[in-house]
Amino acid sequence: MTNKDLILSLIQKSNSALSHQDLVQGIEKKINRVTIYRILDRLIGDGEVHKVIDIDGVSRYAACHQCEDYDHVHDHVHFSCTKCSAVTCLDNIQPSFKMPTNYKVEDVNFTISGVCPKCL
């Protein structure tokens, strides 16, 4: 299994978005930090994972479900739990908003914080 497959399978198996730190701890063999970042960038480029910023500003990575190469469609909401700090994709929740004219949206990042079902 290549490092890329290893990282992708970890992200796909997880119910919540994983941080760089989670990945380092989850991978049994030693992979250089920089290599992990490079692999994550490639997986984002391939439409396999997307980046989520949690309430602490930490980047996490979650599996994509219907993205094509270089064409991520992400208007779903992320939920960031203040107790267990799990970040989950709520794929079916899509807030609608109207942008003023003359603004071009390039990235949408909705993160809602609170207490997840497991911690309630």
Given the rule CB under 5 A, which residues bind Zn ion? 50, 62, 64, 67, 72, 81, 83-84, 89, 116, 118-119
User: Which is closer to Zn ion, CB of 33 or CB of 118?
Assistant: 118
Shortest separation between residue 13's beta carbon and Zn ion, angstroms: 15
3-state secondary structure of 43: helix
Minimum distance from residue 30 beta carbon to Zn ion (Å):
28
- Minimum Å gap between C-beta 9 and Zn ion is 17
**What letter would DSSP give residue 57?**
S
Distances (CA, A) of 50 to 41, 101, 102, 108: 9, 27, 26, 11
Residue among 78, 79, 4, 1 at smallest CA distance from 38: 4
Q: Which is nearer to Zn ion, 32 or 92 (CB)?
A: 92
Cβ proximity to Zn ion: between 31 and 76 the closer is 76
Whole-number minimum distance, CB 51 to Zn ion, in Å?
Answer: 9
Q: Closer to Zn ion at the Cβ: 18 or 116?
A: 116
The token pair at 61 is: 């990575």
How far apart, in whole angstroms, are the C-alpha atoms of residue 78 and residue 17?
9
